[in-house]
């Protein structure tokens, strides 16, 4: 199968900083090549990564939107692909009428009304959204966004080694942002006399928020470890007593939640978004509604079997995800072909 992945022109490889969406797309593309497919990535540059083919537009002073549309038109004008896989938010709806081929869209973020309003521009109806959780699929239905059944994001289980032992420290992993609730994680650690490590980047826009938390960072009970590479985060999962996510914001998926469980770490998480799909309450962690729930969960965390966490995470194996996308591509191609024959 000839597959084209469509990324914004801001996707320049190799990445100089972490970007979950771009990293995920490249990982999927490489696995598809390993499965025998011919894969091309349209992005902001031609990377030296040799297992896939790279295409891009010529440099220009055009706006970001104009450059992205130019890149999409470059891709859609090439009729040699069997299927396109977009990682844009909504721009594909404006450009996809230029091709008769199916355009599969992984929803890396929550659907909203602006995206729903863009659907009308795709008069061919060849754009198919792929929600990454049941929760997101339900949101698509409410908004009237054409979609298929959800496909969970997969993780590479080989990157996360299981550990049945741990240190006596909680762990928070994520951006330092009010929606992520790191201030609450610190509050709960202090309330239960627990130790806590914090891993995450502080953007300049969050300096004021961090200034309210920083006085509680004593370097012993509460430690800020800064941003870390995936290999370092994977080691932190293994040694964590539990990973805590007091987020008030519904994530599109919550990959860190699955990564933690793959390493054996139970998860203590807010009941927002797809949390109930990712954590088995009482078996691989606890889903919490308020401060009292979080404190009780920390105190009861030793009742969780770390082996159960690993078994649960194995349901999110990346190779199963790749197979699901292959099946979806084939189904979409057959559907387009049958429509043409009518």
**In the chain, what are the domain boundaries?**
2-154+318-341, 157-316
pLDDT computed for residue 213 by the predictor: 98
Q: 274, 254 in Cβ contact below 8 A?
A: yes
In whole angstroms, give the CA distance from residue 199 to residue 174: 6
3-state secondary structure of 241: coil
The residue behind tokens 């800020």 is 224
- Distance of CA 90 to CAs 87, 113, 342, Å? 9, 11, 29
Nearest to 263 by CA among 308, 199, 310, 301: 310
In whole angstroms, give the CA distance from residue 62 to residue 57: 11
pLDDT computed for residue 194 by the predictor: 98
Architecture of domain 2-154+318-341 in this structure: 3-Layer(aba) Sandwich (3.40)
pLDDT computed for residue 339 by the predictor: 53
The strand ranges marked E within the chain are 2-6, 38-42, 53-55, 83-86, 103-106, 127-130, 169-173, 195-199, 222-226, 242-245, 267-270, 285-288
Whole-prediction pTM: 0.89
Residue 250 φ then ψ, to 5°: -75, 115
CA 16-273-28 angle, 5° bins: 40
In whole angstroms, give the CA distance from residue 23 to residue 103: 20
Q: Where do the H-state alpha helices sit in 58-154? A: 64-76, 91-95, 113-118, 134-143
pLDDT computed for residue 341 by the predictor: 47
Exposed/middle/buried for residue 317 (C-beta within 10 Å: 0-12, 13-18, 19+): middle
Architecture of domain 157-316 in this structure: 3-Layer(aba) Sandwich (3.40)
| pLDDT averaged per 10 residues, the chain (length 342) | 97 83 93 97 88 91 93 96 96 95 95 92 94 95 94 95 97 96 98 98 95 97 94 96 94 91 98 96 98 98 98 97 98 77 48
What sign for the dihedral angle of Cα 174, 180, 186, 191?
negative
pLDDT computed for residue 337 by the predictor: 64
Domains 2-154+318-341 and 157-316 agree in fold: yes
């Amino acid at each position: 199968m000839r597959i084209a992945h469509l990324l914004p022109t801001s996707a320049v490889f190799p990445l100089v900083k972490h970007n979950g969406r771009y990293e995920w797309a490249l990982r999927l593309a490489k696995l598809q090549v390993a499965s025998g497919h011919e894969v091309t990535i349209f992005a902001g540059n031609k990377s030296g990564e040799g297992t896939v083919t790279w295409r891009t537009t010529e440099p220009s002073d055009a706006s970001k939107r104009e450059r992205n549309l130019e890149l999409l038109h470059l891709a859609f004008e090439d009729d040699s692909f069997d299927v396109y896989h977009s990682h844009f938010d909504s721009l594909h709806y404006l450009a996809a009428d230029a091709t008769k081929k199916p355009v599969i869209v992984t929803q890396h973020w929550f659907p909203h009304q602006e995206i729903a309003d863009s659907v009308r521009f795709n008069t061919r109806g060849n754009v198919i959204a792929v929600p990454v959780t049941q929760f997101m699929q339900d949101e698509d239905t409410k908004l009237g966004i054409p979609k298929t059944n959800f496909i969970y994001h997969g993780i590479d289980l080989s990157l996360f080694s299981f550990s049945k032992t741990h240190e006596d420290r909680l762990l928070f992993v994520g951006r330092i942002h009010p929606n992520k609730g790191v201030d609450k994680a610190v509050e709960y650690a202090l309330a239960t006399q627990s130790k806590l490590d914090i891993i995450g980047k502080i953007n300049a826009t969050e300096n004021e928020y961090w200034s309210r938390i920083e006085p509680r960072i004593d370097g012993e009970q509460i430690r800020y470890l800064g941003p870390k590479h995936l290999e370092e985060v994977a080691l932190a999962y293994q040694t964590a007593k539990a990973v805590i996510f007091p987020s008030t914001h519904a994530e599109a998926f919550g990959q860190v939640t699955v990564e933690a469980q793959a390493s054996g770490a139970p998860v203590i998480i807010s009941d927002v978004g797809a949390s109930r799909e990712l954590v088995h309450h009482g078996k691989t962690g606890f889903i919490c509604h308020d401060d009292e729930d979080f404190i009780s969960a920390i105190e009861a965390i030793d009742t969780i079997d770390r082996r159960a966490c690993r078994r649960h995470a194995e349901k999110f194996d990346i190779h199963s995800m790749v197979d699901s996308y292959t099946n979806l591509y084939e189904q979409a191609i057959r559907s387009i072909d049958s429509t043409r024959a009518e």
